[in-house]
Amino acid sequence: MKLIIDSNEKELRKKLIHYLSQFIYDRRYQLFCGIIRNRTRYITLVLEDIYQAQNASATLRTCDCLGVQDIHIIENSNKFKVDGEVDMGASKWLTIHRYNQLENNTLEAIDSLREAGYRMVAATPHNNACTIRELDLSKGKVALLFGTELTGLSELALKNADEYVRIPMFGFTESYNISVSVALILYELTNRIRSSEIDYRLSPDEQDELMLQWLRASIRNSSLIEKRFYNELKML
């Protein structure tokens, strides 16, 4: 998901970021700068047919807290709904991709992510899966697939996964709640990439694009202010 932008467009975008940054408190802009440096697309999350708003919202909140920028939502039978009280505004800072135009959108999501260079790693409690500590992160970008609360991932998703990962468990129940599973796996994997030599951070172009997205979301009437910027630019 690398951005391909010519030098003039890059320079224009940097000027727009500088212009918009004047309309928020400097300490908030510095907060944006600090957080964006730790955002990653090396690991991304894929949620297939999640139907409980509380679980959906908790996963988004976890992704924001751990710096995972992109969430891919597959809506086959269930519409992905967010509970604002649980989400705590996390979705405002994330890049959410929805797949809901087909009768079955699972393959579309998987094909799109593969084209972007991701390995499809299905989260499953089955014994043939490696543990989260055994998953080799040096082999390339990882798209983690999680399924619906009741039955887990569909057979189609499992069949089209490249690898399988599980969380070690020592009790009687077969699996964790999905939001807990997401939190445990992402916490382990994001800690590992941050302590490794892997280049997990967003590119400078991706950081600029995301900064622009955050500024637009944070400034009231940002579209009018942006229009003023372009009008002033024409007068130079």
Rounded to whole angstroms, the Cα distance separating 178 from 186 reads: 12
- Helices and strands counted in the chain (H then E): 9, 7
Residue 88 has a pLDDT of 83
Q: Is residue 3 pLDDT above 60, yes or no?
A: no
pLDDT, tens only, 96-152: 999 999 889 999 999 999 999 999 999 998 767 899 999 999 999 999 999 987 788
In Å, how far from its chain's centre is CA 88? 16
Burial of residue 87, with CB atoms counted within 10 A of its CB: 0-12 exposed, 13-18 middle, 19 or more buried: buried
Rounded to whole angstroms, the Cα distance separating 36 from 202 reads: 8
pLDDT, tens only, 182-220: 999 999 999 999 999 999 999 999 999 999 999 999 999
Residue 137 has a pLDDT of 97
Query: Which domains can be identified in the chain, with CATH numbers?
Result: 38-212 (3.40.1280.10)
- Rounded to the nearest integer, the mean pLDDT of the chain is 92
Q: Which residue has the higher pLDDT, 70 or 232?
A: 70
Residue 52 has a pLDDT of 86
Residue 236 has a pLDDT of 63
